[in-house]
Structure 1
Amino acid sequence: MTSPSKNHLGPLSQLIFSSRWLQLPLYLGLIVAQAIYVVQFLRELWHLVETTLFHNGIDTAAGADSAEATIMLTVLGLIDVVMISNLLVMVIVGGYETFVSRLKLEGHPDQPEWLSHVNATVLKVKLAMAIIGISSIHLLATFIKARAMDGETIMWQILLHLTFVISAVALAYIDKLTQPAGRHVEAH
């Protein structure tokens, strides 16, 4: 299989095709954002360890019913940071691979399994699923703090979560409808 070389593209085609590299600073910026999330995770983890081990318990004056609820909320915050970081990895690696240039990871032992069949639609479905996971963490935290929150805020969070779920189902369904017959792409 031969690929077109730069010499066979006209100047306008070359400019349009090369414009994909304008996305590179965006992906590099997301890598910086991920580093910031790592710092945030370490701060929250250190605060949890320091508060529970070195200060004889957690201050529950912030609206939680017990030290256990406060620990659970902090752990949910840590999980939230990890899930957002996973989302960033999917966008950085999958987006770069899909829209900018191949990473040439074939055969690399650490190549993500999903990367071998990523395309824009699969990436959208994966992102939607990650957003649902993040929303679920926030909703669980809301339920833990429910006594300290007003019903309208809880209702809007539930409606927003359901909107994410319906959107993800719609994306997956549209993907299924637009696939050629006999072709099934797994969205692990």
Structure 2
Amino acid sequence: MMERALEKGMLAARWLLAPIYIGLSLMLLALAIKFYQELVHLLPQILEIREMDLILVALSLIDIVLIAGLIVMVMYSSYETFIGKLNVAEHKRMGWLDKLDAGSLKLKVAAAIVAISSIHLLKAFMNLDSIPNDKLLWYVIIHLTFVVSALLMGIMDHIASKDSKEQSGGL
């Protein structure tokens, strides 16, 4: 009886995540506002802005889009994993959600972090004159750390999926 009550409590506790997903939705809204704010600031200057500055603005917008996509992936897949199945049958474009498990989500998050880091590194290289060499070196080291981490995660996921196929008689 005590065990059953503990299990019910633990299962009910998963609903504590729901407000967190609502918070992520609000963060998505904040990113959308920031995206359009950047566009509104750009439009009056579009004819005078230097090409390099335009590229930096574009990279900033891409950065926001990557982070927003990451939030959506984490929200949807985490909800499906911990709370309950989303009714995606009526939304034909949400078929990717069925293919997103914890392992593939980790890889997508790692890939997004590498992409975001790449954008920041590219921005730094485009402003080479204003960034000290030691700071630039740290940017490169941090970026390479993200790349190596993502690569190792991918290798570990590949090995784990290969092992699970072998154990289930897939090979």
Aligned length: 163
Query: Secondary structure at 1:12's aligned position in 2?
Result: helix
Matched, 1:137 2:131: no
Q: Which residue of 1 aligns with 2:65?
A: 82
Distance 1:92 1:149 in 2: 36
Give CA-to-partner distance per residue, 1:38-60, whole Å, 9 cap, x none. Answer: 0000010111111224xxx13xx
Match of 1:149 among 127, 131, 155: 131
Q: Which residue of 2 aligns with 1:99?
A: 82
Q: Structure 1 residue runs of 4+, over 3 Å off?
A: none
Q: Which residue of 1 aligns with 2:154?
A: 172
Distance 2:148 2:126 in 1: 24
Alignment of 1:101-140 (within 5 A): 101-106=84-89, 108-113=91-96, 115-140=97-122
Q: Specify the code of the residue in structure 1 equivalent to 2:103.
A: T
Deviates more, 1:123-132 or 1:97-106: 97-106
Matched, 1:44 2:38: yes
Between structures 1 and 2, the one with greater helix share: 2
Q: Which residue of 1 aligns with 2:54?
A: 71
CA RMSD in angstroms comes to 1.7
Matched, 1:24 2:18: yes
- 1:112 Cα offset (Å): 4.2
Quick check: 2:88–2:95 contact (8 Å CA) kept in 1? no
- 1:145 Cα offset (Å): 0.5
Q: Which residue of 2 aligns with 1:5?
A: none
- 1:143 Cα offset (Å): 0.8
TM (norm. structure 1) is: 0.81
Distance 1:51 1:104 in 2: 44
Give CA-to-partner distance per residue, 1:138-186, whole Å, 9 cap, x none. Answer: 1111111111110111111111111111111111111122221269xxx
Quick check: 1:97–1:103 contact (8 Å CA) kept in 2? yes
Distance 2:77 2:166 in 1: 24
Unpaired runs of 5+ residues, structure 2, are none
TM (norm. structure 2) is: 0.89
Quick check: 1:20–1:100 contact (8 Å CA) kept in 2? yes
Query: Secondary structure at 2:34's aligned position in 1?
Result: helix
Quick check: 1:128–1:164 contact (8 Å CA) kept in 2? yes
